[in-house]
Structure 1
Amino acid sequence: MRDTLRVHMGWLHSWLGFLAGLLLLCIFASGTLAVFDTEITHWMQPEVPLHTRTALTPAALNAAAQAVEASERQGFSTFLSLPSHRDPVLRVLHYDGYEFTGPALSPETGTSFAPRETAGGQFFYNFHFSLRGGDHPGVQLVTFLGLCLLVTLGSGLVIHLKALWPDLVLLRPFGPRPRAWVDAHLIAGVLFLPFILFMAYTGTAIHARVLLPAQSFFSPSPAGPPKKSAPKGRLLQAGPPLPPLAPLITQGRERLHSPDGNLVLFTADDVRIFRSDASGPFLTRDHADFSRKDGHFLRSVTRSSPTVATMQLVRGLHYARYAPLTLRWLYFLSGLAATALAGSGLVVFLMKRRRSSGENAFFRLAEALTLTVITGFPIATLGLFWANRCLPVALTGRIMAEIDLFFTLWTLFAIHALLLCLRRHAAAAWRQHLYCLALAGGMLPLVDLLSGSHPWGDGAMLFVTVDALAFLSGLIALFAAQHLRRPAT
């Protein structure tokens, strides 16, 4: 009976893991990058100085208020993102359907830094939770894949639990290729299982209501991107002139016990000061409201029921907006392990079936899809970074130009993989993709340097870190391509 269960679970783990893993790998990878979405945006907007944080002045807030009013007159719902330890500038933002865009202002003088338009780190955040497909069907699909991941993890535990300890002790990373890939899959899955399981569960719970339209205990608060709480439509009408914002923000921070960051939203009747996402592990939407007409205090809106608090904690731990730098690096490394788990699982699936099904057209299609996500997605990602440095700074529609290049590159490498795999040249396709990945990653630091965008004062370490990680990814790809030239043992 136990062996029969393991056989059935093995079939479920293999096929569900492969079919869901094709997209889950991209979700893991983009989520890993989204841990440092703000820092990626800084890399992509080198015009914004990352000097030591200065105090937010009334003059800067007055300039921001004027920008908000001008944006409202154009019909946009606009909000302010106040300076924080991760983003030390004042931003005037509106939602364009995919990203939050707008000028960055000096928190001291209110002058605009005129940063280049860019998809920034928000692109990876949006891709992670919706595959850029919106609430329907994007978030629905990602949530369903989260359920598939939970089932795959459970079935994997059933089939490996009996021999788990011997498999861990007999790790053979440089042994025969099939065994080495299985060992890598097991190590990534076992050592980081608590993190992967937790992120899969919380990510599914956060958006459960898109699969269960009726009111669900999983999601008592609205789903959607928690990073910014801005309205996503156009204003029906612009409100009256804004009152001085400095005293309102001071009062709001005192009432919310939130000294860092904060979002400031505007309606036709009031000004809403929201608690900072970085104020703690509970990702709340508490806010203090003031009259837009004369600035007097109206109300504090807080939710503290056990159900709501539980969901706030789930959201806060999943998005890790509160996390200090060391914890965010831990999230990042764990996300890389989850990506490696998905990638190694796809490779193991193919290796186990190559001998029996290698001539089958469906197998060759499966290998092309695997190539597309394992090598094509990171190539397209690096292409986005290249586009940020190579496209003209003043280019109209620059954000969509970057994004279009990302998807164009990904599509081209998918076509290339499909053509070579269908012609039974899969090994050549793997090597060529890996060499392209090595070139894209290895040359990005040079492109960054030659573009003249790299600062050498404040913020230089951030730029060096991004360039170093790109270079490291190129080295890993080069090592893998060279390893594939050796005959399999």
Structure 2
Amino acid sequence: MRETLRTRLGWLHGWFGYGAGLVLTCIFATGSVAVFNMEITRWMQPELRLTAPVQPGAPALDAAAHLVAAGQARGVSAFIALPSARSPTLDVLHYNGHEFVGARLDPATGAVIPARITAGGGLFYNFHHTLFLGPQVGTIIVNIAGMILLVAIISGVVIHLHALVPDIILLRLSTARLRAWLDAHLLMGVLFLPFMVMMAYTGVLVKADMIVPVTPRPAARSVQVPAPPPAPMPEMARVQLAPLLAQARASLAGQEPGFILFAPQRVSIFAGDASSAFLTRDHADFSLPEGRPLPVDTTATPIARTMQLMHGLHYARFAPPGLRWLYFLSGLCGTAVMASGLVLFVMKRRRHAGHRWAYRLADGLNVTVIAGLPAAMLAFLAGNRLVPASLTGREDWETGIFFTVWALCASHALFNTLRGQAHHAWRAQLGLVGLLGTSLPVIDLLCCPAAFHALPGLHMAVDGLGSGAAIMALYARHRLGRRGA
């Protein structure tokens, strides 16, 4: 009975894990990088050379309010993002369907900084949450993949529980390739099991309403009333935000204000996401145009507080730099668990089924996800430096570079693997990752030397991660050639 259970769980772990693993590898890879989404955006806007945040002055807040009003007159709904340690500029942002883009202002003077428009780290963040398939369909697919990950983790623990300790202690990385891949998969899976469970569980929970929407109880009477046209908001251009910001800071109980939203009759100042591990939406409201405080109920139920903690743990916006790096490294190791599982799935079944077209297709998908995705991510970063800074719609060009390179990698991988040349596909695309990663610091230094010297830590971190990806890819390519896989 026990062996039958393990056999059935092995089938579940393998087939369900592979199908979801293709998506989960992309989710974990982009999610790991998205931990530094704001830092990547700063790197991709080298014209921004502010090193430390300062409290925005009254002229800067007034200038931002005028930009919001001007956008509202054009039908663009924007908000003000206040300076923070991770983003020291005063921003007027709007949502373009995928990313938040807009003007960056100097918080001391209110002058608009002529920074290039970019998709920034928001591309990785949005891909992690929606796969760029839209907030409805994409989020549902990601949630389903997260639930399958929890099932795969439970089944994997049950399958390997009887020999888990010996497999981890022996760690036979120099023996047969199948055994080495399995031991590495088990080691990383066990070491980072709590992190993967936490991210999968919180990720599913914070978007659970997309899978199981709450149906509101119908009202007793339903009266059809035509919706009023949106009210104009000329008051926002006249309101003095500086005193309101001081009042909001006092009423938010130690939480630092993060962003300012405008409505037809009021302005709301929300607490910043980095205020605590509880990702609240506490806010202070003021009437327009006189700026009179409005009553706000910020009392949260235990369930609401629990959900705020789940949001905070998953998004990690409260995390200091050290904890953020730990999230990043844990996410990369979680990505390695998914990627090694994809390789193991094909290796184990090819031993029994031979080189059937289905496994050749699986090989091509593995190359696309494991090697093609990093190549596209590095091409996206390099494209930010190569696309002209003044080009109209350049954020769409950057996004197009990412998906075009990834599509070309997918076509190349499938073309070679379906012809039985998976070895060539792996070597070529790992070489491409090596080329793009090693060239990234050179392109950065040649195109933006002033920004490199103004923020050396930021540029060395981003360029260093690109070089690190290149070193690992070139080492894997060398090992692949030597072992003749």
Structure 2 portions without partners, runs of 5+: 217-228
Residue number in structure 2 paired with 1:241: 235
Residue 177 of structure 1 deviates from its aligned partner by 1.6
Tell me, what secondary structure is at the counterpart of 2:139? helix
For the aligned residues, what is the CA RMSD? 1.4
C-alpha deviation, 1:76, in angstroms: 1.1
Kept after mapping to 2: 8 A contact 1:240/1:292: no
Give the C-alpha shift of residue 135 in structure 1. 2.4
TM-score (norm 2): 0.95
Q: Following the alignment from structure 1 to structure 2, what is the Cα–Cα distance between the partners of residues 307 and 285?
A: 15
Name the CA shift for 1:388/1:260 in 2 (closer, same or farther; >3 Å).
same
Q: Is residue 462 of structure 2 the alignment partner of residue 475 of structure 1? A: no
Q: Which residue of 2 aligns with 1:484?
A: 480
Letter in 1 for 2:207: H
**What is the letter of the counterpart of residue 29 of structure 2?**
A
Contact 2:257 2:269 in 1 (8 A): no
Deviation readout 1:161-183 (Å, 9 max, x if unpaired): 11110011001233322111111
Q: Which runs of 4+ in 1 moved over 3 A?
A: 258-261
Report the Cα offset of residue 207 of structure 1: 0.8
SS at match of 1:10: helix
SS of the equivalent of 2:92 reads strand
Residue of structure 1 in register with 2:126 after alignment: 126
d(CA) in 2 for partners of 1:378 and 1:420?
Answer: 19
Deviates more, 1:27-36 or 1:236-245: 236-245
Could you give the per-residue CA deviations for residues 192-242 of structure 1, whole angstroms, max 9, x where no partner exists?
0001001100100111111112359xxxxxxxxxxxxxxxxxx93431322
Aligned to 1:13: 13
Match of 2:52 in 1: 52
Determine the structure 2 residue equivalent to 1:315.
Answer: 311
2:148 aligned residue? 148
| Equivalent pair of 2:192/2:333 in contact (CA under 8 Å) | yes
Is the contact between residue 119 and residue 398 of structure 2 (CA under 8 Å) also seen in structure 1?
A: yes
Distance 1:426 1:456, change over 3 A: closer
Q: How does 1:41-440 map to 2 (within 5 A)?
A: 41-214=41-214, 236-242=230-236, 243-258=239-254, 260-440=256-436
Match of 1:30 in 2: 30
Aligned pairs, number: 471
CA distance in 2, matches of 1:187, 1:107: 48
Pair 1:381–1:436, CA change in 2 (3 A): same
CA deviations on 1:44-85 (whole Å, 9 max, x unpaired) are 011111323223211111111111111111111110000011
Assess if the C-alpha contact under 8 Å between 2:249 and 2:257 holds in 1. no
Equivalence for 2:220: none
Pairwise CA distance, 1:350: 1.1
In 2, Cα distance between the equivalents of 1:189 and 1:287? 41
Counterpart residue number, 1:226: none
- Distance in 2 (alpha carbons) for counterparts of 1:178 and 1:301: 59
Alpha-carbon offset, residue 317 of structure 1: 0.8
Counterparts of 1:372 and 1:115 in 2: how far apart (Å)?
34
1:141 Cα deviation from its structure 2 partner: 0.5
Q: Structure 1: any 5+ residue segments left out of the alignment? A: 217-234
User: Partners of 1:317 and 1:176 in 2: how far apart?
Assistant: 39
% identical equivalent positions: 49
Q: Distance in 2 between matches of 1:289 and 1:102?
A: 24
Q: Secondary structure at the match of 2:94?
A: strand
Alignment-mate amino acid for residue 141 of structure 1: I
| Structure 1 residues 453 and 237, CA gap change in structure 2 (3 angstroms) | farther
Deviations 1:301-338 (A, max 9, x none): 41410110110010011101111111101100110011
